[in-house]
């Protein structure tokens, strides 16, 4: 196992060629290495898509029918709710593939969507729609309640 080999190498490492690293220093370095080895691979990659989004440049989410909320178990849209059946991280890309069952109250269908991270936005296929985080959608100046 590569993780165990790396840990073994860490424990057996030498500092400065001939001089052995003292046990305390080796323990600190190796414990940090073990922590990173034990973290789930998807802990960092999947978090970016779990949020509320709306169409790029649209009105703020509190009054927006293009809002889409992604969680680890569901995708909620204006009139459609979906239950996630499978979430696949795509290696070497900031992308996830979502397999889900969706219902609008009258009919149920199976869907597959690809979410691709674009800086602070998300590209959603097959809709070919760029979504922006609700927290980043600004109130246009003419609608600002203060002004």
State what percent of residues in the chain have pLDDT above 70.
63
Within 8 A by CB and 6+ apart from 96, the residues are 45, 46, 49, 87, 88, 89, 90, 114, 115
pTM for the whole structure? 0.63
pLDDT, tens digit, for every residue of 65-102? 899 999 999 999 999 999 999 999 998 999 999 999 99
Query: Which sequence spans correspond to the domains of the chain?
Result: 2-39, 44-138
Pick the CATH number of 44-138 from 3.30.700, 2.90.10, 3.30.450, 2.40.128: 2.40.128
Q: Are 7 and 13 in contact (CB under 8 A)?
A: no
In this structure, what are the phi and psi dihedrals at residue 22, rounded to the nearest 5 degrees? -65, 150
């Amino acid at each position: 196992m590569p993780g165990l080999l790396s840990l073994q190498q860490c424990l057996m490492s030498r500092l400065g060629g001939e001089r052995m690293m003292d046990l305390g220093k080796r323990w600190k370095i190796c414990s940090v290495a073990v922590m990173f080895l034990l973290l789930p691979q998807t802990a960092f990659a999947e978090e970016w898509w779990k949020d509320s989004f709306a169409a790029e440049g649209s009105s703020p989410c509190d009054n927006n029918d293009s809002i889409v909320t992604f969680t680890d178990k569901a995708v909620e849209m204006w009139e459609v709710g979906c239950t996630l059946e499978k979430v696949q991280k795509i290696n070497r890309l900031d992308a996830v593939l979502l397999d889900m069952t969706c219902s609008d109250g009258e009919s149920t269908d199976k869907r597959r969507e690809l979410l691709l991270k674009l800086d602070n936005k998300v590209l959603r296929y097959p809709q070919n729609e760029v979504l922006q985080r609700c927290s980043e959608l600004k109130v246009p100046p003419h609608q600002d309640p203060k002004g």
